[in-house]
Structure 1
Amino acid sequence: MRAGKIFVQDLVEHKILERVASIKVDLYGSLALTGIGHGTPNATLMGLEGELPETVPTETIISRVQDMHDTATITLNGAHRIRFNPDKDMTLHCYESLPQHPNGMRFTVFDVNGDMLATNEYFSIGGGFVVNEKTQVAHGENVFYRDSKHDPMHTSSSSAVGESADKSSAGPAAAEPAQMDERTQQDLVTAALPFRTGKDLIELCEREGLSIAEVVYLNELQWRSREDVIDSAYRIWNVMDDSIRRGCLSTERKLPGRLNVHRRAPHLYQNLMRGIYGTVAGQGLLSSASNAQGALSDGQTGVLDDGAMSGSAYSASSLLGTALTSTQRNELSGVFKRRQRARRPVLPQLDYLSVYAIAVNEENAAGGRVVTAPTNGAAGVIPSVLKYHLEFLSEDPSRDILEFLFTSAAIGMLYKRGASISAAEMGCQGEVGVACSMSAAAFAAVMGGTPAQVENAAEIGIEHNLGLTCDPVDGLVQIPCIERNALGAVKAVTAAQLALQGDGSHRVSLDQVIETMRQTGHDMMSKYKETSQGGLAVNVPIC
Structure 2
Amino acid sequence: MKKVECISVFDMLKIGVGPSSSHTLGPWRASQRWIEELKDEGIIDDVEKIEIQLYGSLSLTGKGHATDIAAILGLCGHDPVTMDINLIDVEIDRVKKDGNLNFDNSRLLDFDFEKDVKFLKEFKDFHPNGITYKATLKNGEHTESTFYSIGGGFVVKENRENAKQKQEELAQFPFQIENAKELLKHCKAEQKIISEIVLENEKSLRSEAEIDEGLEKIWEVMLESMYIGCHTEGELPGGLNVNRRAAKMNEKLLAEKHNTYNNPKEWLETIRTKEVKFRQILQWVSCFAIAVNEVNASLGRVVTAPTNGSSGTVPAVMMYYMVIENHNATFKDLKQFMLVAGEIGSLFKKGATISAAMGGCQAEIGVSSAMAAGALTEVMGGTPEQVLMASEIAMEHHLGMTCDPIAGLVQIPCIERNAMGAIKAINAAEIAMESDATKAKVPLDKIISTMWETAKDMNSKYKETSEGGLAVEVNMSDC
Relative to the length of structure 2, the TM-score reads: 0.89
Alignment of 1:141-156 (within 5 A): 156=162
Gap change, CA 1:527 and 1:133, over 3 Å in 2: closer
Gap change, CA 1:357 and 1:88, over 3 Å in 2: same
What SS does the aligned partner of 2:64 have? helix
Question: Is 1:62–2:44 an aligned residue pair?
Answer: no
Match of 1:247, as an amino acid?
Answer: G
* Aligned equivalent of 2:136: 110
Greater alpha carbon shift after TM alignment, 218-227 vs 359-368: 218-227
* Aligned equivalent of 1:378: 310
Question: Is 1:484–2:417 an aligned residue pair?
Answer: yes
* Aligned equivalent of 1:269: 250
* Aligned equivalent of 1:466: 399
* Structure 2: distance between partners of 1:476 and 1:155: 32
What SS does the aligned partner of 1:515 have? helix
Describe the superposition over 1:511-539 as per-residue Cα deviations: whole angstroms up to 9, x where unpaired: 00100100001000011000000000011
* Aligned equivalent of 2:337: 404
Q: CA deviation at 1:110?
A: 1.1
* Structure 1: distance between partners of 2:202 and 2:227: 29
Question: Is 1:391–2:323 an aligned residue pair?
Answer: yes
* Aligned equivalent of 2:108: 81
* Structure 1: distance between partners of 2:79 and 2:47: 21
What SS does the aligned partner of 1:8 have? helix
C-alpha RMSD over aligned residues: 1.8
1:132–1:156 contact (8 Å) kept in structure 2: no
Alignment of 1:224-303 (within 5 A): 224-250=206-232, 252-273=233-254, 274-275=258-259, 277-278=261-262, 284-290=270-276, 293=277
* Structure 2: distance between partners of 1:254 and 1:114: 47
What SS does the aligned partner of 1:520 have? helix
Q: CA deviation at 1:428?
A: 0.1
What SS does the aligned partner of 2:300 have? coil
Q: CA deviation at 1:286?
A: 4.2
1:9–1:77 contact (8 Å) kept in structure 2: no
2:178–2:350 contact (8 Å) kept in structure 1: yes
What SS does the aligned partner of 1:347 have? helix
* Aligned equivalent of 2:466: 532
Gap change, CA 1:275 and 1:519, over 3 Å in 2: farther
Q: CA deviation at 1:450?
A: 0.5
* Structure 1: distance between partners of 2:60 and 2:217: 33
Describe the superposition over 1:418-444 as per-residue Cα deviations: whole angstroms up to 9, x where unpaired: 000000000000000000000000000
Gap change, CA 1:266 and 1:522, over 3 Å in 2: same
What SS does the aligned partner of 2:145 have? strand
Q: CA deviation at 1:108?
A: 1.5
* Aligned equivalent of 1:144: none
* Larger relative contact order, structure 1 or 2 (CA cutoff 8 Å, min sep 6): 2
Question: Is 1:132–2:157 an aligned residue pair?
Answer: yes
Q: CA deviation at 1:14?
A: 2.0
1:353–1:486 contact (8 Å) kept in structure 2: yes
Gap change, CA 1:276 and 1:17, over 3 Å in 2: farther
Alignment of 1:323-472 (within 5 A): 346-394=278-326, 395-472=328-405
* Structure 2: distance between partners of 1:122 and 1:277: 45
Q: How many residues align?
A: 443
Describe the superposition over 1:273-320 as per-residue Cα deviations: whole angstroms up to 9, x where unpaired: 125854855663244234xx4xxxxxxxxxxxxxxxxxxxxxxxxxxx
Q: CA deviation at 1:188?
A: 2.8
Gap change, CA 1:245 and 1:53, over 3 Å in 2: same
* Aligned equivalent of 2:24: none
Give the unaligned 5+ runs of structure 1.
Answer: 135-153, 159-182, 294-345
Gap change, CA 1:155 and 1:533, over 3 Å in 2: closer
Gap change, CA 1:498 and 1:254, over 3 Å in 2: same
Gap change, CA 1:402 and 1:269, over 3 Å in 2: same
2:101–2:110 contact (8 Å) kept in structure 1: yes
Gap change, CA 1:488 and 1:186, over 3 Å in 2: closer
Gap change, CA 1:91 and 1:383, over 3 Å in 2: same
* Aligned equivalent of 1:502: 435
Describe the superposition over 1:119-174 as per-residue Cα deviations: whole angstroms up to 9, x where unpaired: 2111111111111247xxxxxxxxxxxxxxxxxxx98547xxxxxxxxxxxxxxxx
Higher Rg of the two aligned structures: 1
1:420–1:430 contact (8 Å) kept in structure 2: yes
* Structure 2: distance between partners of 1:29 and 1:283: 46
Alignment equivalent of 1:120, drawn from 118, 140, 145? 145
* Aligned equivalent of 1:207: 189
What SS does the aligned partner of 2:464 have? coil
2:261–2:270 contact (8 Å) kept in structure 1: no
* Structure 2: distance between partners of 1:418 and 1:186: 17
1:386–1:401 contact (8 Å) kept in structure 2: yes
* Structure 2: distance between partners of 1:475 and 1:275: 36
Gap change, CA 1:281 and 1:74, over 3 Å in 2: closer
* Structure 2: distance between partners of 1:362 and 1:475: 15
What SS does the aligned partner of 1:86 have? coil
What SS does the aligned partner of 1:222 have? coil
1:196–1:414 contact (8 Å) kept in structure 2: yes
Question: Is 1:34–2:61 an aligned residue pair?
Answer: yes
Gap change, CA 1:527 and 1:277, over 3 Å in 2: farther
Match of 2:70, as an amino acid?
Answer: A
* Aligned equivalent of 1:219: 201
1:289–1:349 contact (8 Å) kept in structure 2: no
Greater alpha carbon shift after TM alignment, 275-284 vs 481-490: 275-284
* Aligned equivalent of 1:101: 127
Match of 2:403, as an amino acid?
Answer: C
Describe the superposition over 1:180-220 as per-residue Cα deviations: whole angstroms up to 9, x where unpaired: xxx96385300011111111111111111111111111111
Question: Is 1:475–2:457 an aligned residue pair?
Answer: no
1:72–1:84 contact (8 Å) kept in structure 2: yes
2:126–2:158 contact (8 Å) kept in structure 1: no
1:24–1:109 contact (8 Å) kept in structure 2: yes
Gap change, CA 1:285 and 1:155, over 3 Å in 2: closer
Q: CA deviation at 1:475?
A: 0.3
* Aligned equivalent of 2:5: none
1:48–1:77 contact (8 Å) kept in structure 2: yes
1:263–1:362 contact (8 Å) kept in structure 2: yes
Alignment of 1:14-25 (within 5 A): 14-25=41-52
Q: CA deviation at 1:61?
A: 1.1
1:403–1:446 contact (8 Å) kept in structure 2: yes
Match of 2:197, as an amino acid?
Answer: V
What SS does the aligned partner of 1:35 have? coil
Give the unaligned 5+ runs of structure 2.
Answer: 1-27
* Structure with greater helix share of residues: 2
* Structure 2: distance between partners of 1:253 and 1:381: 22
What SS does the aligned partner of 1:125 have? strand
Match of 2:90, as an amino acid?
Answer: S
Relative to the length of structure 1, the TM-score reads: 0.79
* Structure 2: distance between partners of 1:57 and 1:361: 19
